[in-house]
Structure 1
Amino acid sequence: MDAAKKLDKVRIDRSLVDVHRNPRSSETVWGYVSAVGKKWALIANARDGGYPDGFTAIRLKDVIAVRRRAGFEDAFAKTRTDWPESPLHLDLDLEAVLPARPDVGVVATKRLRD
């Protein structure tokens, strides 16, 4: 299953996830998937305790693994009526729009070449 399908599945399930990216040394993004486009996905970030912490846009081609995160943070977050946050209304397929949004952190990594 490709990254877009995995991310869309956990978006529908409203599962708390870790999103691992290439290169493997990149920081793992964790939270709830808010939206999935053709090239980008929008993650509603979670911080310790399951509290909301803004949004991060990640390139689908950088995603190497999506893993559900079980534990108290997911259970706690699901008790809150304001979490996960509603997705922002932006076109994830227009790369030029993403950096212009001050409320979205864009995580882009370069692939390492041999």
Structure 2
Amino acid sequence: MTLQASLGAQCVEIYRLNYLTAGLVYIPSGVGGAVAAFFSGKYIDRTYRKALASSTTPSSTLTGDSLDFTIEQFRLKGVYVLIVTSAIETVGYGLALMTKAAKISNRPGRL
């Protein structure tokens, strides 16, 4: 959410965009968030299936209480990969803003 809050203001200040154009930069971020949520869900589902496969309890009798691990342990098992990925992407975002990586034309009529 911090990146979302700073994105429009940074684009106006650094790249001298008008407010309409600066508002359009939220579209790729929104699409990226939706794609990330989809793949994060798939990743968590896969880790859950692996945890069930390695469980000592027979799969025909599995319920939430009969697992040999708690649901909290399962949910947090793959979070480290997601945290590291998010940290690397945040550093990349900061570097792109700092170095003005995007080249934007100042000619009228072009974004």
**Higher normalized strand content (fraction of residues):** 1
Name the structure, 1 or 2, with higher relative contact order (CA <8 Å, separation 6+).
Answer: 1
**Rg larger in structure:** 2
**Higher normalized helix content (fraction of residues):** 2
**TM tier, smaller:** under 0.3
TM-score between both structures, scaled by the size of structure 1: 0.21
